[in-house]
Each structure stands twice: as C-alpha cells, then as structure tokens.
Amino acid sequence: MEDRPFSDISYRKFLDEDKLMGSKCKKCGQVYVPPRHFCYECFSEDMEWLEMKGEGELAAYTCIYVGPAFMIEQGYDRKNPYCTGVVKLAEGPRIVGRIEGVDVSKPESIKIGTAMTAEFLHVGEGEDVRSFLAFKPV
Amino acid sequence: MSKKRKLGRGVAIVGAGMSNFGMFPDKDSKDLFAEAYAEALSSVDKGFDPKDIEAVWIGNFSNDFFVHQAHWGPIIADVAALAPKAVTRTEGACASSTLAMRDGLMAIASGMYDIVLVGGVEEMSKCTTEEVTEGLALATSPYEGQSGYTFPGVFGALATAYFDAYGAGREHLMNITIKSHENAPLNPKAQFKQTIKDLMDAKKARAEKKGKPVPEWKDEKEALWDPSFNPPVAWPMHLYDCCPISDGASCLLLVAEELAKGFTDDPIYIVGYGQGSGRGLHACPSLTSFEANKNAAKEAYGLSGLSPKDIQFAEVHDCFSIAELIHVEDLGFFEAGEGYKAIAEGATRRDGPMPINTSGGLKCKGHPVGATGTAQMFEVWKQLRGEAGERQIPGKDLYIGASQNLGGTGGTCTFSIFERR
C-alpha cells in the first residue's frame, strides 16, 4: 500500500497521476477527501489511503466572470467565464473541483444533482505542470 | 450538558467611533484610525482621559498584502499616542476587529485590565480590483483557491445550494440588496448613499446625455435582472449582490462594568459573545448554513441567557446578499429555508419586526474588512442609544441589539449581543 504522508502535498501529487485519493480512518472507517491527519469522528491518526472512483453528483456550483490570476492566465475572463463547483462523491465525502462540459453561458441550465465523473486537468509543461481536479457530466 | 458560562465581571462600551467608509486616495490607515479614535474619545458623555487606556487590540486582515506594511499593532498604538502601552493585532479575515473586541472583553472580564481600546482598520483601495480579488481569495480554504474559487464564487456556490434546497431564486436576494440601498442614504458615513432607484435614474441620465437608448425598467428588480445594469461576477452573484472595496477604521472604548457610569449614564453592556470556526465547502456539514455561526450563536445565547426572540435588531455580515440570508437563519431569527420568505414580506426592513443592517450593511456602508466588526458594533451602539438619526429604528424602545461578523468564507464567525439597561 501507499506509504505517502496524508498531506495536501501527497493529494496534489496523486492528482498529477490522475488519481483522486482520500484517507480512511482505520479505527472508525470515516473517509476524508482530501486526506486528513486526524479523524473528526474519533480523533485517531491511524489512516490508510483510499482511491475514489471519481463518481458523484453536483451539489453546488458557480460561474466565475472575475477570476484569480492563474485562471486569467488560462484564458478565462468576463467574456469567457468558467464553472467551478462542489461534488458529492459516491463514497460519501464532498470535494471542490472545476466543472467542465456544462454550458457556462446559461448557468441556469446547470442542475444540482447531475451525475458527474472526475477528470484530471494538467496545465503547463514540464516542471511547471499543474494538475487540477475537474468533473464533467456523465 | 454544556456548562453554564459567566464572565468574571461585566464589560461595557462607553465610547465608539467610525471613520467615513469609502475609497480615499488621500488617506492612509493611520489617518483613518485617527478619525475613528477622535470620534470615540469625543463620544464619551462625561469625558475620557486617553491616559487611562491600559491596552489596545487592533484588527487588520491584510494590509501586509494591500499596502505592503505588516505589524500594524504598534503603528496604531502610536497613532493614538498610546505607546508604550501593550498592543496586539488580531487577524480573522473579515472578522478581525470583532476578535479584537473579544480579546478586550476577555482581558477586562479576567481582571487583567479595566480600560482598553479595541478596533480595526483596512486600506484596500490603493490596489486594483484584480489585486483585491487575489488578496481576499487568500482567505478562502486552500482547496477552494486551487479550484478557481474567488470570494464571490464561494458565496455563489452556497446560493445555488440554497436555491435548490428551498426553492428561492435571485429575485429573493434582490430584496436584500434593495433594502440595504434604502437604509444607506440615511447613513452619512456610508460609501454608497444611493437607492437602487437613484442609481437607475443616474444610468438613464447618462444614456440620454450620450445619445444612447435609454433603458426602460419598470422597477428595481427589472434593472437588477438586466446584465447591463447588474453584470454577473460569480453567477448567481452579480455586482449588486457584492459589497465594495473600501477603506476605513472603527473603534470602541471598553471598561469594566463598575466603572461604566463614571463615563456615561448610558453605557452599552456586552452581555453575550460567541465565536466558531468552519471548514471549507468540501467538509462543512451543510451548504446552506455556516457551522461557525451555529457555534457562535450557541455560545453567545448561552453566555447571555437570551434567545433569538430577545434580539430586537442586528447588523449581520452581508459581504454577499446570500450571506445575509444564511446568517438570519443560522442565528435563529428565522427558521432554515424561511428567511427569504420573511425578507420578501419586509421583515428585515428598518420598520419591520426584525430590522437587519440599518447601517446599509457591508453592501452599501462599505467593507474595509479589518474595520467591519467594530463598525457593526458602532451601529448597534448608535441604535441602542437612540443616536442613529434619520435611520433610527422607528417606534421601538430598543434595549437588545446584536452583531454577527464572518471571516473568510465562513472559517470564522462571531456573534455579539449588546444591552442597554
């Protein structure tokens, strides 16, 4: 099994490898994505890695017209907004991620409860590549 | 069973001050704090000797980022000519100055000090809108930032969850915006003093002057639906759902209860205080409520022995319209999912049964983030003492008011309850 630390750094490295990983408390079974050091339910720090299937449903979303610098660099602005959201995973936890494959010009047409599947975006090249978790409708 | 809590001794506000809020290219944080502090000193009915202040707490979120200067505690103590007295800077994003008040409250209640100055300051307008968006986004949860969320984006997502859960829509949030813009013209310190109707007329006049087609909106909501008047920022949050970028400062003089009547016959007592922390969108228990609010409310009601029914009016943290709606439900003023209906019926208007944000709220009064918490308390102080002028809540003998302050995207929430005896 994986022996990486249950950290945000590990979580992001897994995204580089097209894996959505969480931690499962070995004591009480609670699942966390991203991984956690301590369990909220039983305060145990005895965790194991668990790979998510990447399936879930849309729980909330927003279409952003004024984004942060790194999104502007990716070509998004008032004329080209992007969608980001919250997805409730089949395994139980929620996770935030970009929402692709929806009509951002008609935000009202995007429906909470839509079945979603994960995809992994890799932006940039070589050493500078950054990975982003995204979801698209099934 | 949670233990019944009680302050070691009571604490009262005997003076309060607030600078004008707005965008002031010719004023810096020191000038703004001086303006608030001078008003606080002169507001003490029986006079106040600044030499009696024993310690200072000052809230500031991110002047480090906004004006490239950190370590604001001693700078502000020096503005007030209080060095070498102890000063501490508090940071809780947009709730920074409420945390300053909390520390002052605890210090007096503990017996460590008798008389303290608490307040906050923020200087944001020297940055571009893009820089401020970036600076504020530093206070989202790390996962949200990486997913492209901005501040309005997080609140936009909460709004879609609320709409879906309870059947509300943008038209309901517009009621909050219209109400804030009705209160603000009555507040001389507010950043935006125009009603939505005033702003519509101004836009029509500009179009006419330029020889362009003059918009024909039948009412405020029709204008707010029009993207040329109210463009999207982070759908469903549009421009008029969002508070502005502001500069400003505010402060309060706190004293031990037994000393209060030496300063004024009409002190305002801090009878309840609560605070909570919250996780990001991925981990919070609900997308239609702030867990930090619930904890803050439980603590504050517990400490005061009061219930939501006892609160006669409140200032709540309407950084975005949806936030005001969630807060009034989280604090128990309305049932979950019922707030938007009550607001539509005018319940939170100045002349309604539960006035909210008589100051114009963050939306219109302005939101210099580190100054907001104690500025909300400034409004409660004014209302409770019957000194709110034209915006005084009509037809009520006010004795219990409250203020709710949110930091980040719900990472910090506070709830403070004040009493006039």
d(CA A96, CA A117): 13
pLDDT for A1 equals 53
Q: Which residue of B has its CA nearest to A79?
A: B232
In tens, the pLDDT along A81-108 reads: 999 999 999 999 999 999 999 999 999 9
Cβ separation B234–A65 shorter than 8 A: yes
In tens, the pLDDT along A18-53 reads: 999 999 999 999 999 999 999 999 999 999 999 999
Cβ separation A65–B232 shorter than 8 A: yes
Per-residue pLDDT of chain B (421 residues; tens, 9 = 90+): 468 899 999 999 999 999 999 999 999 999 999 999 999 999 999 999 999 999 999 999 999 999 999 999 999 999 999 999 999 999 999 999 999 999 999 999 999 999 999 999 999 999 988 888 888 888 888 889 889 999 999 999 999 999 999 999 999 999 999 999 999 999 999 999 999 999 999 999 999 999 999 999 999 999 999 999 999 999 999 999 999 999 999 999 999 999 999 999 999 999 999 999 999 999 999 999 999 999 999 999 999 999 999 999 999 999 999 999 999 999 999 999 999 999 999 999 999 999 999 999 999 999 999 999 999 999 999 999 999 999 999 999 999 999 999 999 999 999 999 999 9
Q: Sign of the C-alpha dihedral, residues B47, B51, B53, B58?
A: positive
CB pairs under 8 A between A and B: 111
Q: What is the pTM assigned to this prediction?
A: 0.97
Which chain A positions have a beta carbon within 8 Å of B287's beta carbon?
59-60, 86
pLDDT for B142 equals 83
Output the DSSP codes for chain A. Answer: -----SSHHHHHHHHHTT--EEEEETTT--EESS--SS-TTT----EEEEE---EEEEEEEEEESS--HHHHHTT-BTTB-EEEEEEEETTS-EEEEEE-SS-TT-GGG--TT-EEEEEEEEES-GGG-EEEEEEEE-
Task: Look up tokens 């879930």; give the residue.
Answer: A56
Task: Identify the bridge partners of residue B401 per DSSP, sorted by sequence position.
Answer: B313, B418
pLDDT for B129 equals 84
pLDDT for A128 equals 84
**Going from the N-terminus, what domains does chain A have, and what CATH number goes with each?**
8-51 (no CATH), 55-137 (2.40.50)
Which chain A positions have a beta carbon within 8 Å of B153's beta carbon?
62, 64, 84
B78 half-sphere exposure, CB direction, 13 A CA radius: 7
Decide the pairing of beta strands B247-256 and B237-238: unpaired
pLDDT for A3 equals 86
Which chain A positions have a beta carbon within 8 Å of B280's beta carbon?
96
B 108-167 residues with CB < 8 A to A? 129-130, 133-134, 137, 142-150, 152-154, 156-161, 164
The encoded tokens of residue B320 equal 């975005």
